[in-house]
Chains A and B, each alone.
Chain A
Amino acid sequence: MGERTTTLANAPSLEERAWRIRRNALRMGEVQGQGYIAQALGVADVLAVSYFHALRYRPEDPEWEGRDRFLLSIGHYAIALYAALIEAGIVPADELETYGSDDSRLPMSAMAAYTPGMEISGGSLGIGLGIAVGMCLGLKRKGSDRFVYNLMSDGELGEGPTWEAAASAAHWKLGNLICLVDVNRMQADGPSPDVLNFEPLPAKWEAFGWYAQRVDGNDIGALVKAFDAARALEEPKPRIIICDTRMAKGVPFLEAREKSHFIRVEQHEWAQALEALDAGRQA
């Protein structure tokens, strides 16, 4: 059922999905007057390709054993994943209005116990990939052929456990692990290369024994190819797709705004941002 949605002839294009994810995120930002909106807009294409091209899941049964697991290591990207989960039909669209409010199932930082489809409580950065390693080992034990996707940020490349997990995944030949890195080159204290330089990225991961690809994370065609290659690879090694993204993608005046980890959006600007996004819609 739901897992076949994307193959329907009249299914929305991935570009349309990405646009809707951005729109959902902006509307949540408007409700709360804040949120990591620049990250959400930047990573929307990666999420669109994940949820509407690659992942197998049943919207009505988020715990379905046959699903591919999608881990949000970056808990502060919750707004982005909620936007995708709403578009995927896993979270009802009317809950969007509750984002970040008391008693909401959509808290500001992502937690497994709150939200359907949220596999882990991320947010303490650097924990997702290690959990993914354990899940991959578990799935292999069960004889499952499902994938575990772990979405992390470039900032998490500074965390030690990321590299423990990188070595471990290669050691265990985890061909069922696909790591996605959102490289927007911006951390809490400034541009990532100034905070803690992590380049050259593909070479590092390859040296750890991974199949590494680097793509423009806002180019849906390139993402589809990379996801397909990652899934199709027969060699039993973990896979990583390094996605270079532009923060605030899709809303030109926010894209142009001075870059920072937490982009300020004035209250009156949310409506303008939605208008700007709609104006750039690729039907």
Chain B
Amino acid sequence: MKRMKRPPPGAQAPTPGEQGGEGGQLPGQTPKKRLTTSAMIASLASEGQRTKPAPFGHALVEAAKNRPEIVGMTADLGKYTDLHIFGRAFPDRHYQMGMAEQNLMLAAGGMAHEGFVPFVTTYAVFASRRTYDFISQGIVEEGLNVKICCALPGLTTGYGPSHQATEDVAIFRGMPDLTIVDPCDALDIEQATPAIAAHDGPVYMRLLRGNVPLVLDEYDYRFELGKAKLVRDGMDALVISSGFMTMRALEAAKLLEADRVSLAVLHSPTIKPLDEEAILREARRAGRMVVVAENHSVIGGLGEAVAGTLLRAGVAPAAFRQVALPDEFLDAGALPTLHDRYGISAEAMARSIKSWL
């Protein structure tokens, strides 16, 4: 029999303290206003945060100006992956392949056979779950120069598990020769896009689209493929993070300053190949707990990659913790609610780290 996630309206409310019941407020509490599910294209930006529109689309247009071999291909998600910006600039180089992701990947492989550099976009769930074999055998086994750039990585939509790619990195990490990139913000995406275009080989990039927060310009940072960068130094804990969790780690670091907790943040946007040298260098600095933060399941992502790196090198930090999504099919709902519920908001992250110290 199928399992139900929610009791029907009017059924007995879950007992206080029970997980996950939105109707589970304590007796006497004022019912909290329920947020509504964010649209598919909701921005991750918090109120008042600086953003840049469609950094991937604009960066790709720039990268493609002097590279006529770059083409764009999508499976009916051009507008939702910012590839439409490229399509507008180069209509003749934009291939709408229709809602047929398997064919999308195979055709991209075929294009690369003929010397083109396809930037392929869809949602991360479809690329990872639906087309793995076609990426593996149609593209990567032959070392073909295809860049697979996917929106909605991890928990970036409230639409539920059909659209939440919480295990895409776990799926792709097992594929030999595939470079995996998880950029943090608009600046990271702007710099990563030409970098992966210049790289000769297949790449999977997790994409933030729409109005993307801009954070890293306040730090002394440049994206380099294969390199982790220390964007902030600190004494109590070392956060190793990828994707927008680096932004969250930097926010958490500011929150924790009030508690005199000092966080270092090592941003590792290239998940494979991992910058083991930088990770070991920072993890070897004595007395610091290592916290790996990622917008991904606790299984098989950056956290386990870092853990393996440390263990193989015999490096034992003061403690090892993960800020990551649970090994579950996640709830539907509003993104801020869900990020808080699953511990990947800045506040939740700061609370976790404080409790671990």
Give residues in A with beta carbon < 8 Å to B: 69, 111-113, 119-121, 123-124, 127, 129-139, 141-142, 160-161, 164-165, 167-168, 171
Contacts and interface: CB of A to CB of B under 8 A. Distances in A.
B137 A165 contact: no
Contact of B107 (A123, A133, A139): A133
B132 to A, nearest CB: 11
Chain A to chain B: the 7 pairs with minimum beta-carbon distance, closest first: A134-B110, A130-B106, A138-B114, A134-B107, A164-B103, A164-B100, A161-B102
A120 B109 CA distance: 10
A120 B142 contact: yes
* Interface majority SS (helix, strand, loop, mixed), chain B: helix
Contact of A113 (B95, B105, B112, B142): B142
B133 interface: yes
Contact of B137 (A69, A127, A129): A127
A130 B75 CA distance: 14
Contacts, number: 96
Contacts of B133: 124, 127
Contacts of B115: 138, 142
Interface in B55-113: 71, 95, 97-98, 100, 102-103, 105-113
User: Counting chain B CB atoms within 10 Å of each CB, which of A124, A129, A164, A171 scores highest?
Assistant: A164
Nearest to B131: A161
Contacts of B102: 130, 160-161, 164
Contacts of A134: 106-114, 118
Contact of B111 (A69, A138, A171): A138
Contacts of A124: 133, 136-137
B138 A130 contact: yes
Contact of A130 (B95, B107, B112): B107
17 contacts: A113-B142, A127-B134, A127-B137, A129-B106, A131-B109, A133-B106, A133-B107, A133-B110, A134-B107, A135-B113, A138-B116, A161-B100, A161-B106, A161-B134, A164-B100, A165-B103, A167-B103
A255 B112 CA distance: 41
B103 A133 contact: yes
B141 interface: yes
B138 A131 contact: yes
Given A123-B137, A124-B137, A161-B134, A131 B110 contact: yes
A150 to B, nearest CB: 10
A229 to B, nearest CB: 25
Contacts of B137: 121, 123-124, 127
B113 A137 contact: no
A141 B103 CA distance: 18
Contacts of B112: 134
A4 to B, nearest CB: 25
A278 to B, nearest CB: 38
